[in-house]
Structure 1
């Protein structure tokens, strides 16, 4: 699955979730529904972060094999940092969730911008 989303188009988050669920419905993941739910949550968080904090939108890529790998690439300089959640719980939890729930994750510089990725399924990388 690969999908480009426009800057600040938060409706695209739901569309990406639907496409990811379709992809995962055809994948026999270890943990089944649990992996799909976690993948959907983490993807939503990363896409929302990219759309809110980076100009130019983002490209979301999801691939399945032995593991699920999701990448969200944007064109904003600098790396995001894990932040504590706000007191109202509406912001700041994205990377904290990725760090806590993904089997592996990271941030890769890519010319202009970066790629934030995570992997699920098959145990720790």
Structure 2
């Protein structure tokens, strides 16, 4: 997973978030290669999209899992990525698509390294569903959360 370049301009140009009266909405962002500024920007945009969604704590979990997927894409690939979040009154689906064919792998975290190897374990533990979908060039790592899950 990976990202980079001039995300501030890219995020502004490609802003596509809207929520209708039913609580459905979508967020789509192009993330520049290796640009770690995209992580807090993605969290902020998702927080805005989920402002009135789900039970207490669900949007915080969504932000955490989204930042894990975005960070993985930025660190483990050397190309742009695309973040898509689709929200409805019943659930949320977040997908980070990159253009590198190598599939992510679960790692056992090293006790001496507090910053690596925990992202997909968090996704697996906290998401209602998650997976990896291959596409023509690259893959999409996704997760889903139900709005009413405890």
Q: TM-score, normalised by structure 2?
A: 0.77
Is residue 2 of structure 2 the alignment partner of residue 2 of structure 1?
no
Is residue 87 of structure 2 the alignment partner of residue 64 of structure 1?
yes
Deviations 1:60-108 (A, max 9, x none): 0001111010000001112101111232211111111000000000100
Partner Cα separation in structure 2 for residue 54 and residue 73 of structure 1: 11
Partner Cα separation in structure 2 for residue 56 and residue 8 of structure 1: 8
Q: Residue 77 of structure 1: SS of its match in structure 2?
A: coil
Superposed, 1:91-106 pairs within 5 Å as 91-106=116-131
Q: Residue 58 of structure 2: SS of its match in structure 1?
A: helix
Query: Could you list the runs of 5+ residues in structure 1 that have no partner in the other structure?
Result: none
Superposed, 1:1-40 pairs within 5 Å as 1-27=27-53, 29=54, 31-32=55-56, 34-40=57-63
* Map of 2:12 onto structure 1: none
Give the number of aligned pairs. 121
Please give the root-mean-square deviation of Cα atoms over the aligned residues, in Å: 1.3
Deviating beyond 6 angstroms after TM superposition, the runs of 4 or more aligned structure 1 residues are none
Task: Decide which structure has greater helix share.
Answer: 1
C-alpha deviation, 1:123, in angstroms? 6.5
